[in-house]
Structure 1
Amino acid sequence: MTRPAPRPAVPQSVDRALEILDAVADAPGPVGAKVLARRLGCSLSTVYHLLGPLTARGHLVRTGAGYAPGPRLAALHRSHRRHLGLGPQIAELLPRLRRATGAEAYFTAYRDGRIVMIDSTVPVTDVAHPFLPGPETRAHATAHGKVLLAALPRTARRRYLAEHGMARFTDRTITTAERFEAEVAQVRGQGLAVSMGEADPGFTCLATTLPQPADGPEGVVRALSVSLPTADFRRRHGEIRAALARAAATASL
């Protein structure tokens, strides 16, 4: 498997500003400037120099305990959701699917070589959940990743796997392109992807693609999925599959 492509070169100040945003976003609470300086490996004065415009533009806010995500990030998130076709219908579909199955539901999309989980029914306070909104780094091991990659031409799919790699997360994870192509053939035949303990040993995921709306963004493939403990899935797999299929069908109406 080809190694993932290196990140393109960017100005150091831009890269460090983005590292600050990532660090603050990933932290469980506000982060102090000294902590950020240690994490970035740069001077405190450099961190303050970057924090100034980030707070002025609303990307971050300064609290008594440190820096936290600002209101501008919420606006960017809304814009991102809109550009990927998450309208009111899909937003309402997720909680309905959650109520029908008792499983967490997710909306994921592929665009321009990236797979991102856009929304889910997982509470925002549940930071320990194995599947959370954001860039998907385990697409080859998740049901939503499989079904989205199966919808792509073979060359685009192989390029994605070469760029992002196929890391092993459990003893069930598929880690070769040849085995993944066999999995893709099965997904296309069933119209449904399953990941049983491939990304997380305790969870099974099911996913299906959603129809592309006539006025939807070009080049976007969308997926609807659910996850639940594997023991629960074994008892209720027929019910879960049927509920997911019904939910996807309503999205095309």
Structure 2
Amino acid sequence: MGGGPTLIGSVQRAFRLLEAASAHQNGAPAKQLARETGLPLATAYHLLRTLVHDGYLRKLDDGAFVLGDRLRTLHTAGRGQALLSRVRPALTALRDELSMAAYLTFYEDGEIRVADIVDSARSPRAPLWVGFEDAGHATALGKSVLRELDGAARQEYLSRHPLNDLTPRTITTAEELLRRLDATELAPAVADLEEYSLGTVCVAVPVYSGTTLGALGVSMPRDRLSRLEEIRERLLPAAGRVTRGLSLTI
């Protein structure tokens, strides 16, 4: 092997520069970062240019280097993973207790997005043939979120999402959808009765991650329709555990 720097060594030096830059709230120039990390100035310059190019660092007008947007994105994603790992045991317990796949969604940036699905061979997930972002009106998880939104937020969401006809049971008018949301006998739970996928029934209840609204739900074959009340009673305490887990500070 040649005597040049190895890839591992370059990665280690890049990490040292990131750590040094993060220690300075207003950033630090290349010479200072090189001195603090013990790197030759030429090596530091080369790595700093690469880190800036890839978005891990940002160079200010005065020549100082600060952490870049890509690192902030990684931090946010990592925090989300930590939150999900904290509540996944509750989803797993719900799946095992009911023998049904469990789902967790959040309402973020005006969209209903799946955050986690816990299923198994014995408790398979529903066939996700249309993305949840385009099927909020037809899924229990989406309808749970819509039920919790205020009138203006509901209308804003519905103005951006056509109520596509996914099955013969799908509700395709906003007026009827809102009427049923407000009149559901399972409140605060909401059901999807083969509106997203024929042969599949879902039930969901609201959860919160701080101020972010979400929904916890399960799916089942339609022959278990008679268990809706029982499932609602199992979902509500599980939703409380999930909300508490999501609301703890990391």
- What is the TM-score with the length of structure 2 in the denominator? 0.60
Does the 8 Å CA contact 1:168/1:175 hold for their aligned counterparts? yes
> How many angstroms does 1:81 deviate by?
7.6
Alignment partners' CA distance in 2, 1:150 and 1:242: 18
Alignment partners' CA distance in 1, 2:98 and 2:222: 14
Partner SS for 2:196 = coil
2:142 equivalent to 1:145: yes
Residues 141-197 of structure 1, C-alpha deviation per residue, up to 9 Å, x if partnerless? 000100101111212111211211100111111111100110221249710100010
Partner SS for 2:203 = strand
Alignment partners' CA distance in 1, 2:117 and 2:129: 7
Using the TM superposition, name which of 198-207 and 131-140 deviates more. Answer: 131-140
- Report what 1:130 is aligned to: 127
What letter matches 2:159 in structure 1? A
> How many angstroms does 1:239 deviate by?
2.7
Alignment partners' CA distance in 1, 2:91 and 2:131: 16
Alignment partners' CA distance in 1, 2:117 and 2:108: 18
2:151 equivalent to 1:160: no
Give the direction of change, closer, same or farther, for the CA distance of 1:106–1:128 in structure 2 (3 Å limit).
Answer: closer
Alignment of 1:225-244 (within 5 A): 225-234=217-226, 236-244=227-235
Alignment partners' CA distance in 1, 2:160 and 2:216: 24
- Report what 1:250 is aligned to: 241
CA RMSD of aligned residues (A): 3.5
Give the direction of change, closer, same or farther, for the CA distance of 1:242–1:223 in structure 2 (3 Å limit).
Answer: same
Does the 8 Å CA contact 2:126/2:200 hold for their aligned counterparts? no
> How many angstroms does 1:242 deviate by?
1.8
2:196 equivalent to 1:199: yes
Partner SS for 1:165 = coil
Alignment partners' CA distance in 2, 1:188 and 1:112: 29
Partner SS for 2:153 = helix
Alignment partners' CA distance in 2, 1:96 and 1:132: 26
Aligned-pair identity in percent equals: 31
- Report what 2:96 is aligned to: 99
Unaligned runs of 5+ in 2: 1-53, 55-72, 245-250
Does the 8 Å CA contact 1:144/1:208 hold for their aligned counterparts? yes
Unaligned runs of 5+ in 1: 1-56, 58-75
2:99 equivalent to 1:108: no
Between 1 and 2, higher relative CO (CA 8 Å, sep ≥ 6) is seen in: 1
Does the 8 Å CA contact 1:115/1:136 hold for their aligned counterparts? yes
> How many angstroms does 1:249 deviate by?
2.7
Give the direction of change, closer, same or farther, for the CA distance of 1:128–1:237 in structure 2 (3 Å limit).
Answer: closer
Find 1:173's aligned residue among 170, 188, 194: 170
- What is the TM-score with the length of structure 1 in the denominator? 0.59
